[in-house]
Amino acid sequence: MATLHIPTCYQCSAPLPPRPPGRHGPPRRFCSDRCRKAASRARRQIDLEPPLAFVCELPPLPPTPNPDELTMRAVLEARGAAATFARLAPIARRDFGWRCERAAVEIKRVVDDYFPEV
């Protein structure tokens, strides 16, 4: 005895509505635009997984440094960013030059105000 095949939606498994008469094209895969968009979002989430995690063994993370050490490192990096902006200000094109100068001054001012001892 033959079985009757009823096409179902790829996303929600609901039976697909029949195609309107006179419409041609590939067979339907989704029952609605809502299911089609949900399936697209689900595929996109799968694509965002880091590919290296599945290919090789990742080394263990190093022990977490002391928060004070991390703070000092961030302050030094901020001062380095201010110095970089200051070096770029005279050589950057005109519409970026003044922004680089202002960023350098403001970063240095904020870091010196909040972390004078570092």
User: pTM to 2 decimals?
Assistant: 0.46
Residues 42 and 76 in one domain: no
* Contact in structure between 35 and 12 (CB atoms under 8 Å): yes
Residues 35 and 71 in one domain: no
pLDDT of residue 5: 76
* Contact in structure between 11 and 39 (CB atoms under 8 Å): yes
Question: Is 39 inside a domain boundary?
Answer: yes
Question: Is 80 inside a domain boundary?
Answer: yes
Question: Is 82 inside a domain boundary?
Answer: yes
Range of the domain at 72: 67-114
User: Which residues are CB-contacts of 39 (< 8 A; sequence separation ≥ 6)?
Assistant: 10, 11, 30
Q: Give the mean pLDDT of 38-57.
A: 68
Question: Is 60 inside a domain boundary?
Answer: no
Q: How do residues 66-108 score in pLDDT, each as one tens digit?
A: 888 888 999 999 999 999 999 999 998 888 899 999 999 999 9
Confidence of residue 1 (pLDDT cuts 50, 70, 90): low
Domain count of the chain?
Answer: 2
Rounded to whole angstroms, how far apart are CA atoms 8 and 30?
8
